[in-house]
Structure 1
């Protein structure tokens, strides 16, 4: 999937199978955040500030450009989706059990899994003509599966696959029970459009198009070359090495994969493919493609507020930030949090701090309260002594800011200091908030 990373305020695109980023060792408190935490301890950390930002407004590939030359930016977007997290398997007939076997095992990691992201988008609901009852039932499904889906962003591909398969089965079962044949067919068309070139690695599509093994292996080889070129580029960029040549190689690899559609497919196969894709859907316009935010886990102590729930905050934009009061990287964000609270508290925006401890002193609610008063943090603060909310959100580092829309869906997040080495994470968050305030 395409992930966006901001390094010295420059956005970089890369291909990855994990959503937790570049890993550099031994960077405690020397980067934009305190060490990443895992199972109660610290481990290798991600050095870059990650932003699902408004600078990248096209989270899915454009729906048209498979049969001609396109710019590198479009090529990158046609191959992988942006997303924090890997997302669900394409909707493929005829039986649920066979759908999970539609891609050969060696190619599974190459094919974007996008169904769940699509299903979260209101524009898709409208395109499928889902009734209000269907949407309500779909959101009930999200309440059950979005937590596990969101937490997959921190796991290895090997750990992700069996969980994704389990979630896929639940989604396909729901679709079979609650949607019409016409709705499922249209959803499949849009899913294939979103998968772009990589859709041709699926065995089901190979059968329908009558692809031979040599054709499919050629597509797979080009996909692996693109992955390798992008991996080499990302390593060079993060290590500060010259990357112009690698950038050119990555661009060439992506273009070769894209252009192969017109070169490898026979005319009849290309014609049949266009028929299968149906009417072009403007996938780039989709805005809400992330899970529902995990509900707050009840704790004993809240500061500056009665206990809050995200359900109770529906209708408001919520900025949730994890911090620890002895984390100096968190201190760098405090002034921004104060500004947001003062600027927006009367405009339908709620800033909520979650103080999750690492040190002994950070586990003392009295010390947390004293530190908050000293820093003039007047917004609601949850004292997450047992780290239950940290775990529920699958959080990995201090500080991290999440943007939750009026309907309880995650729309953006930023890991690390918002202004680390010239980054403008605060502006990115503020732009998102302004957009969400005008949404229904």
Structure 2
């Protein structure tokens, strides 16, 4: 079975993986991310009661998920594994057997060619030692060949030629992998996938964003709560007023605020100090005025919000949809080393502004 894969989808998946952390993500299967993918939820064909219970479960677990993102590697891994185990246990009560089987198949689709080396897959395929070695080399060579394409895409080069080269690369990789298998193994590989699924629809996970933790201190007036901003697209950016990487993002924040002034859009800053001088609210207020930052800024002097969101880098930019769900995340400067994070974030903002509130929901009941 040849899988249709495009680079844009894989890059989107890579961004969503970074919400967890690349090392942790490599050690935990894609189950957690898949649960938050609208295309996956649609494929499960939940009824109304299942959809309600499913979303309630994810919303509860997401509150525990975000703080794991800035924990030490082993602690983050243990915490995420606990969440996955709890999700599996609860979904065993929510999903019907056929739905649970489909979810397993979608994990294979999500892994792509990397699924060949999953222990659960290898156990069913019963590779010989020679087969396993050849498979490992094919996958490693393809990943190495794809690196320049990832870099070109991140630099904002025209996507058409890059996508075409990537599709050719993946097609060769898949043909080479299937050539290693016996006819019986190919049949098993196809059975593991079940019905066709378009992986290009992945890379759109939706997480319930953490609520702001009120500290009682704001600059430029209160921004309210995320709950009070439902129906609006919200950009939340964590920063420190003396951080040069943060300062380099200011022009884009000013542009967004002006560009979307007549639309349901809000910009909220959360100031988490990095050094002692940044702990003085008068300095935050003065520098905001100097930089013409007029949006509400929550003072996070004790890092409560920083930790609740699981940040590890100044600045961090989040784009939240009209239902209060995280739809895009960017860590660091938006224009860092030739990358065009500003354009990517702006495209996402405009996409979400076009959505109705109902379209922002992760789950939907089947007819």
TM-score, normalized by the shorter chain, greater than 0.5: yes
Map 1:75-114; keep pairs closer than 5 Å. 77=10, 81-85=14-18, 113-114=29-30
Gap runs ≥5 in structure 2:
152-165, 357-367
Residue 273 in structure 1 maps to residue 184 in structure 2: no
In the other structure, the counterpart of 1:319 is 235
How far apart in 1 are the matches of 2:173 and 2:288? 53
Residue 428 in structure 1 maps to residue 344 in structure 2: yes
The correspondence for 1:356, drawn from 272, 285, 306, is 272
In the other structure, the counterpart of 1:190 is 106
In the other structure, the counterpart of 1:100 is none
Question: Does the aligned pair in 1 maintain the 2:65–2:80 contact within 8 Å?
Answer: yes
In the other structure, the counterpart of 1:105 is none
Highest relative contact order (Cα 8 Å, sep 6+), 1 or 2?
2
Question: Does the aligned pair in 1 maintain the 2:69–2:311 contact within 8 Å?
Answer: no
Deviations 1:124-145 (A, max 9, x none): 2222111233233223222333
Q: Using the TM superposition, give the Cα deviation of residue 371 of structure 1 relative to its aligned residue in structure 2, in angstroms.
A: 2.6
Deviations 1:126-172 (A, max 9, x none): 22111233233223222333355445555676554433322221121
Q: Using the TM superposition, give the Cα deviation of residue 280 of structure 1 relative to its aligned residue in structure 2, in angstroms.
A: 0.8
Q: Using the TM superposition, give the Cα deviation of residue 266 of structure 1 relative to its aligned residue in structure 2, in angstroms.
A: 0.6
How far apart in 1 are the matches of 2:41 and 2:171? 33
Gap runs ≥5 in structure 1:
1-63, 89-107, 236-249
Q: Using the TM superposition, give the Cα deviation of residue 383 of structure 1 relative to its aligned residue in structure 2, in angstroms.
A: 0.7
How far apart in 2 are the matches of 1:229 and 1:160? 31
Counting helix residues as a fraction of each chain, which structure ranks higher? Answer: 2
| Cα separation, partners in 2 of 1:138 and 1:345, compared to 1, 3 Å | farther
Q: Using the TM superposition, give the Cα deviation of residue 439 of structure 1 relative to its aligned residue in structure 2, in angstroms.
A: 1.6
Deviations 1:28-85 (A, max 9, x none): xxxxxxxxxxxxxxxxxxxxxxxxxxxxxxxxxxxx635xxx89x669949x855243
Map 1:263-302; keep pairs closer than 5 Å. 263-286=179-202, 288-302=204-218
| Cα separation, partners in 2 of 1:271 and 1:119, compared to 1, 3 Å | same
* TM-score where L is the length of structure 2: 0.78
How far apart in 2 are the matches of 1:232 and 1:152? 31
Residue 133 in structure 1 maps to residue 49 in structure 2: yes
Deviations 1:415-440 (A, max 9, x none): 33334565533222211111111122
| Cα separation, partners in 2 of 1:208 and 1:116, compared to 1, 3 Å | same
Question: Does the aligned pair in 1 maintain the 2:242–2:278 contact within 8 Å?
Answer: yes
Residue 329 in structure 1 maps to residue 245 in structure 2: yes
Q: Using the TM superposition, give the Cα deviation of residue 334 of structure 1 relative to its aligned residue in structure 2, in angstroms.
A: 2.1
Which segment drifts farther, 138-147 or 352-361? 138-147
Deviations 1:185-207 (A, max 9, x none): 11222221111222222333334
Map 1:227-242; keep pairs closer than 5 Å. none
Question: Does the aligned pair in 1 maintain the 2:223–2:268 contact within 8 Å?
Answer: no
Equivalent pairs, count: 339
SS of 1:135's partner is helix
| Cα separation, partners in 2 of 1:147 and 1:229, compared to 1, 3 Å | farther
Residue 405 in structure 1 maps to residue 338 in structure 2: no
Q: Using the TM superposition, give the Cα deviation of residue 386 of structure 1 relative to its aligned residue in structure 2, in angstroms.
A: 0.7
* TM-score where L is the length of structure 1: 0.66
Residue 65 in structure 1 maps to residue 2 in structure 2: yes
Question: Does the aligned pair in 2 maintain the 1:86–1:113 contact within 8 Å?
Answer: no
Question: Does the aligned pair in 1 maintain the 2:319–2:327 contact within 8 Å?
Answer: yes
Question: Does the aligned pair in 2 maintain the 1:110–1:198 contact within 8 Å?
Answer: no
SS of 1:403's partner is strand
Question: Does the aligned pair in 2 maintain the 1:215–1:264 contact within 8 Å?
Answer: yes
| Cα separation, partners in 2 of 1:375 and 1:111, compared to 1, 3 Å | closer
Map 1:157-176; keep pairs closer than 5 Å. 158-176=74-92
How far apart in 2 are the matches of 1:428 and 1:232? 19
Question: Does the aligned pair in 2 maintain the 1:351–1:380 contact within 8 Å?
Answer: yes
| Cα separation, partners in 2 of 1:186 and 1:336, compared to 1, 3 Å | same
| Cα separation, partners in 2 of 1:255 and 1:155, compared to 1, 3 Å | farther
| Cα separation, partners in 2 of 1:318 and 1:338, compared to 1, 3 Å | same
